[in-house]
Chains A and B, each alone.
Chain A
Amino acid sequence: MKTVIETRDLVRKFGEIVAVDGIDLSVSEGEVFGFLGPNGAGKSTAIRMLTTLLHPTSGEIYVSGFNVVTEAADVRKVIGVALQDAAIDPLMTANELIRLQAVLHGISRSEAKKKGGELLERVGLSGAAARRVSTYSGGMRRRLDLALSLIHEPRILFLDEPTTGLDPTSREALWDEVKRLNTELGTTVFLTTQYLEEADQLAHKIAIIDAGRIVRQGIPKELKENISSPTLRVDVEELDLIRAQDVLDSFGDRRPAREGRAAVGLDGGATRLAEVIRALDEAGISVEHLELDAPSLDDVFADATGRRLEGVEEGNE
């Protein structure tokens, strides 16, 4: 697959603060790339550099083959960008914004009208197109922002924390649209997020950034597989607990579990589940409840940084 986004030893400093510290990224054409990290990790700084809004202190960035510093105008022709907080003028209507965005990208008035209408229809804003944006909900603003970023049919779409602050329904609607853009139109999507589920749902490949550095990069499934085996938790009667743990220990490393429960890192994963149940049955242990949790991206993040990402307070970077 062709590489459409590439960074080499990318660094950005603000005075003494190093916001992005030597990152190397490679995104292939048609890929959804998730840039995952907590607030302040350097995600927004990185995406601002990738989209020509911020110059790197050092290092190189190529988007669609163009150097973002020396060929910025060419980069802007092939990218669509929806930045954090959906920066939309609240005094304007969706129709006016579509028209402005179209002019900014050199699209004729008639084409803008046609394409704008289609985009607003697709994101479910046709009925509100003549209303001022100040009357929109957060979800509607995000959808409008997405529509605006697509007016010139970009081959690469950058989304900076596209669902932060959205309710679950709006979040899923936006995910569906991103998936559709990727699968139906082949748009390459680079999205930053602090949500594990979002990265899991959308991204073919992810990079985890922490304190300006990439700490893990790869396919989510492989990253999770590399980190550890899934955790098997078994509830049994209290009298059988020690024996149950002994049985489980033969299938992998013992894992911490709450009181009254035995747990193991199951080597081989779900394929060995039947084997475990048979072993417990043969030992005469009656299983009350059993659950198998696959390793999550949070486990990957924790393994790389020693901290958990899940449950981190929402907010802007």
Chain B
Amino acid sequence: MTTQTFSKAASGVSLSIAMAVCRRGVLRVLSRPTLLLPIVFMPVIMLISFTGAFGSLTRIEGYGSENIYDWMAPYVALQGSVFAGVFGSASTAEDFETGFFDRLLLTPGSRSSILLGTVLVSAIRSLFPTVGVVVVALLGGLNLSGGLPAILLLAAASALMASVFCLFSLAIVYRFKTIRSLMIVQLVAFTSFFMTIGQVPLEFMTGWLHQVARFNPTTNVLRFARQGFLDGITWDLTWPGIVVFAAANIVGSVLAFRSLRRIGS
């Protein structure tokens, strides 16, 4: 038996592989722009529908904003980023179904690079609904007192939100290898978003919903993302959001990586 001398195992993340996987994802989107339609169209429709339905709430004292677009735009942009995250993992499910994922698994490099590349694509994709929502909101009368920093903060929040949901979705896709398996993630995403301060402030809620929204981590994410849209940007609203993003990304990474490592076992 011949034996060559190589490193015992691939370890660490190869940025070049991650970037190559990411580049492929971006190329796919560019070559099939219709892929972007659901993740841009849905939040824009939600923005139009929510601002229309809840517009008069701004006249109630204590609502939190006199401009419904300032209140709703970050909320629906984040929801769009969740779609972007889940769609990122849906591409991986498609790769499993076509067999292309085997090609990626045959790379001698670390498999975590494949994971990172896929998450990066989702983060980039999240910018499309964010931009779409902000543009439509501006046309509708968005005040945006925080200016560019507020938009950059929202973009960062969207990218981080997309990465969280991409990671959780990948943990499932790596295990079940089908697009259908993502239904459960969508269910969790919708539940977490509707039981929060997305549509009305915490003070407007009563009973169990108030308690759930109060402790729902997504509430901190929304407060983080709405900075510069409702009030100024403050550390008091920033750090809880960072903690939620960090914790969710760490937990998601661990779950996704465990599922990835178990492929083939």
Contacts and interface: CB of A to CB of B under 8 A. Distances in A.
B180 interface: no
24 contacts: A55-B265, A62-B1, A64-B3, A65-B2, A66-B4, A71-B9, A73-B10, A73-B108, A73-B109, A74-B6, A74-B8, A76-B108, A77-B108, A79-B106, A83-B99, A87-B98, A87-B99, A87-B103, A89-B28, A92-B31, A104-B20, A104-B103, A105-B108, A106-B14
Interface string A37-70: 0000000000010011111000000101110001
Interface in B164-182: none
Interface of A: 2-4, 6, 29, 48, 51-55, 62, 64-66, 70-74, 76-79, 81, 83-85, 87-89, 91-92, 96, 99-101, 103-106, 132, 148
A176 B104 CA distance: 28
Contacts of A29: 2
Contact of B104 (A52, A65, A104): A104
Given A64-B4, A74-B6, A92-B24, A53 B106 contact: yes
Given A91-B31, A106-B14, 16 more contacts: A2-B2, A3-B1, A52-B105, A52-B106, A52-B264, A53-B106, A62-B1, A72-B9, A73-B6, A73-B109, A74-B7, A74-B108, A100-B20, A103-B16, A103-B20, A104-B109
A88 B104 CA distance: 11
B135 interface: no
A72 B24 CA distance: 25
Nearest to B30: A91
Q: Return the 3 tightest CB-CB contacts between A and B, nearest first.
A: A65-B3, A87-B99, A73-B10
A83 B99 CA distance: 9
A317 to B, nearest CB: 13
A105 B265 contact: no
Contacts of B20: 99-100, 103-104
A66 B100 CA distance: 25
A53 B98 contact: no
| Interface size, B (range) | 20 to 34
B4 A106 contact: no
A53 B107 CA distance: 11
Contact of A4 (B2, B6, B264, B265): B2
A101 B4 CA distance: 22
